[in-house]
A = this chain, B = another copy of it.
Amino acid sequence: MEKVNVQEKLELFSDHWRPKVVGELNGQHVKLVKFQGAFVWHDHKEEDEMFLVVRGAFRMEFRDGSVELREGEFLIVPRGVEHRPVAEEEVAVMLFEPAGIKHTGDVESELTVREIEWV
């Protein structure tokens, strides 16, 4: 059984918007991702999604408002709710969501990643 050091894992990649799996339990994945700039609008029909800020800050936009998140804060976006993360500066985020979720939902974009990548 191996522990995971979050900061060490974050040092292993520098790309943006490409979540890396760092753990799996109960059919859920724990992921790390770096955001910078604006993502695409999307939702997840069947999956709730948790965003925990590890370093930095970002804004989660919704069609009717937004939530500012900084280090040590998290937000759970319920299934079916359109959202778009926007980061003025780079932010590191831990995600908790079902294994197999597509990060852009049903939206096809140049940002869409199909592989599951562990780090």
Residues of A in contact with B (beta carbons under 8 Å apart): 1-7, 23-26, 28, 30, 47-50, 62, 67, 69, 72-78, 81, 96-98
Residue among A7, A24, A69, A96 with the highest chain B CB neighbour number at 10 A: A96
Q: Which of B3, B67, B97 contacts A74 (CB 8 A)?
A: B3
User: Judging by beta carbons under 8 Å apart, are A73 and B3 in contact?
Assistant: yes
* CB-defined contacts of A30 to chain B, threshold 8 Å: 50, 74, 76, 96
User: Judging by beta carbons under 8 Å apart, are A4 and B75 in contact?
Assistant: yes
* CB-defined contacts of A78 to chain B, threshold 8 Å: 1, 25
Q: Which of B3, B72, B96 contacts A25 (CB 8 A)?
A: B96
Distance, CA A73 to CA B10, complexed state (A):
12
